[in-house]
Amino acid sequence: MGESEIKIFIILTGIIVLVFITGIIIFIFQYRERKLLYNKEKAMIEEQHQSDLLNKQLEIRQQTMQFIGRELHDSVTQKLTLASIYTQQMEFENLYPGMQEKLKGISTIINDSLVELRDLSKSLTESKIENSSLSDLLMLECERVNDTGICRALLQTTGEAPLTITVKSFLLRTMQEFIQNSLKHSNCREISIRLRHDEKGLALNAADDGKGFDVTTVQSRGIGLNNMRRRIQILGGSFNLQSEAGRGTSLELFVPIDHVNSQ
Ligand SMILES: Nc1ncnc2c1ncn2[C@@H]1O[C@H](COP(=O)(O)OP(=O)(O)OP(=O)(O)O)[C@@H](O)[C@H]1O
Ligand SMILES: [Mg+2]
């Protein structure tokens, strides 16, 4: 083999090795990219699945309560009404001396039970969340806080529009947990809530003026905080909880308009 042939051989071998190495590098990169894409898709499917699951649970709970409410109304209430009519008739007939008093007593018990049953049936059938606006539901929470006398709660609303039951109940549950935490842990004097709904989305801010806490160390411990974060994540919104010892706690939620309308 001449000198020039050896050179050509070395160059060719070099090129082959280079092509081979480049091929391996490209393959590794493509493999990693595909794996990343696969993991991303898997996470998205998992998230969607969790969201569907939660929505389903909410729906089943709702249907069960409505079923019990209707059953109470259609079955027990009807029978009690009949029993009430019978006792009224007997009261009228006045068969034995002293019987009228006893029948009056029975009649009163039946009628009281009827009123209570009707109220219960109504509250189970008509879902409070379904039939009230988010600001009404939040106002009710504020009133409850104010009734405790522990601290003051204020609500400020700007621009309300109808919301689906999922969005309403997830936001309400999140705010209820914030309020509970403020009452339980913060020693605050005031809790303020602001609700703003415009063409960009729905913003909900809450703040207490309590003792605050270290968000970084405490986050993984409580179920409440994790549930709040998860609910907002499922809605496709952003969650920003801030707190500092001695400076209170604040929460900023934002759900973009396309997510508000798609749930
Ligand atoms: N507004 C707040 N002010 C002061 N500390 C708070 C506040 N909110 C939360 N914390 C702290 O964060 C911790 C975790 O809160 P989280 O709601 O997750 O759990 P929890 O309230 O202790 O129990 P639960 O699971 O019943 O909600 C609380 O134990 C408390 O120490
Ligand atoms: Mg809590």
Q: Is the CB of 224 under 6 A from ligand 1?
A: yes
**Taking ligand 2, which is a single-atom ion, which protein residues have CB atoms under 5 Å away?**
181, 224
1 — pLDDT class (breaks 50, 70, 90): low
**For residue 148, what pLDDT is reported?**
84
Write the pLDDT tens digit of every residue in 105-117.
888 888 888 888 8
C-alpha 167/C-alpha 175 separation (Å) is 12
The yes-or-no verdict on residue 219 having pLDDT over 60 is: no
Give the model's pLDDT for residue 243: 94
* Whether pLDDT at 12 is above 60: yes
What is the per-residue pLDDT for 69? 78
**Distance (Å, whole) CA 129 – CA 68:** 17
- Higher pLDDT: 68 or 175? It is 175
Q: Among 177, 180, 225, which residue has the most ligand 1 atoms within 8 Å of its CB, making it the best to mutate?
A: 225
> What's the pLDDT score for residue 157?
95
- Predicted local distance difference test score (pLDDT) of residue 263: 66
Q: Among 86-90, 146-150, 243-247, which stretch is predicted with the lowest mean pLDDT?
A: 86-90
Q: Ligand 1: which atom is nearest the Cα of residue 223? A: 25
- Residue 123 has a pLDDT of 73
User: Which residue has the CA at smallest separation from atom 19 of ligand 1?
Assistant: 222
Residue 239: pLDDT band (50, 70, 90) is very high
- Distance between Cα 213 and ligand 2 center (Å): 13
Average pLDDT over residues 154-161: 92
Cα separation of 51 and 59, whole Å?
12
Summarize pLDDT for 63-106 with one digit per residue, the tens.
Answer: 787 778 777 777 777 788 888 888 887 777 766 777 778 888 88
If one residue of 173, 180, 183, 185 were mutated to test the ligand 1 pocket, choosing by the most ligand atoms within 8 A of its CB, it would be 185
- C-alpha triplet 93, 96, 101: angle, nearest 5°: 80
Q: Which two tokens stand for residue 136?
A: 């009404």
Q: Is 225 in the pocket of ligand 1 (CB under 6 A)?
A: yes
Is the beta carbon of 182 within 6 A of some atom in ligand 1?
yes
| pLDDT for 45 | 87
Stretch (H or E) spanning 225: helix 223-234
Question: Over 90: is that where the pLDDT of 209 sits?
Answer: yes
Single out the residue of 130, 147, 144 nearest to residue 175, CA to CA.
144
pLDDT tens by residue, 131-147 = 889 999 999 999 989 98
Distance of CA 224 from the midpoint of ligand 2 (Å): 4
User: According to the model, what pLDDT value does residue 154 have?
Assistant: 97
* pLDDT for the residue numbered 55: 74
Q: Mean pLDDT across the chain, nearest whole number?
A: 86
Hey, which of 9-13, 38-42, 139-143, 192-196 has the most confident mean pLDDT?
192-196
CA–CA distance, 51 with 206 (Å, rounded to integer): 24
- pLDDT for position 220: 58
Q: Which pLDDT does position 120 carry in this prediction?
A: 80
SS3 content of the chain, % helix, strand, coil (to 5): 70, 15, 15
pTM of the model: 0.65
